[in-house]
Amino acid sequence: MPNEIYAEFKNALKNSGCAKCALHEGRTQIVVDRGNPEAKIMVIGEAPGEKEDLSGTAFVGRAGKMFDEIMKSVGLETNQDMFIANVAKCRPPKNRPPTHEEAQACFPYLKRQIELVRPKIILLLGATALKRMAPAKKNFSMGDETGKFFEMPEYPGILFMALYHPAALLYNSKLKPAMMEHARSLQRVIAANFRPEPSTAQTHPL
């Protein structure tokens, strides 16, 4: 039943013709998600890029492939063990970050995804996702915030973790060791709280 309810939401959004902000003028299609809506780990990124806009699937470009590889290194299969969505559902021009107004317009969709998926852990990829989901954090440095788990009263029962956006690693390879360590921290929390230690030989849905 949860899968059916989410599928109805996804289909309705994809075919809604949403025009709540100016991003609809340049999109090919609305990009809703990727992965397993019954997974216990939700990933929130920034917005679709060119490949996502063309395919209609979230996080399938270079940054998405890097994220897949990093998660696979700690035994997590992104399409099975995770559910991936973005702050904005339409591609911003030239892949710029969505504006506050654009993110605000899309937020009801993201909030509904969280309500339907009911994750135990939410990974926030990059500054845009962290600003949107934790607005109380102001003037922060991603270097200070990444790799740390935190909770918010607005989302009881959910553990949040900020990570570098994989796109940042494509431009600054020096960030990758920190990202790998943060992935291992995630692995340890999952092993301690939700399931046996992840294995690259065999993965199990959370």
- 8-65 pLDDT, tens digit per residue, is 999 999 999 999 999 999 999 999 999 999 999 999 999 999 999 999 999 999 999 9
Whole-structure pTM value: 0.92
Q: Is 52 exposed, middle or buried (0-12, 13-18, 19+ CB in 10 A)?
A: buried
Contact at 8 Å (CB) between 77 and 33? no
- Which regions of the chain are under pLDDT 70? 1-2, 195-206
d(CA 15, CA 138): 36
The pLDDT value recorded for residue 66 is: 96
The pLDDT value recorded for residue 203 is: 42
Half-sphere exposure of 111 (CA within 13 A, CB side): 11
The pLDDT value recorded for residue 186 is: 97
Name the E strands within the chain.
34-35, 41-45, 82-86, 121-125, 149-150, 159-163
Contact at 8 Å (CB) between 41 and 83? yes
Q: Which residues are CB-neighbours of 84 under 8 A, at least 6 positions away? A: 33, 34, 35, 42, 43, 45, 58, 59, 64, 78
The pLDDT value recorded for residue 137 is: 87
The pLDDT value recorded for residue 3 is: 79
Which CATH number is associated with domain 2-17+27-191? 3.40.470.10
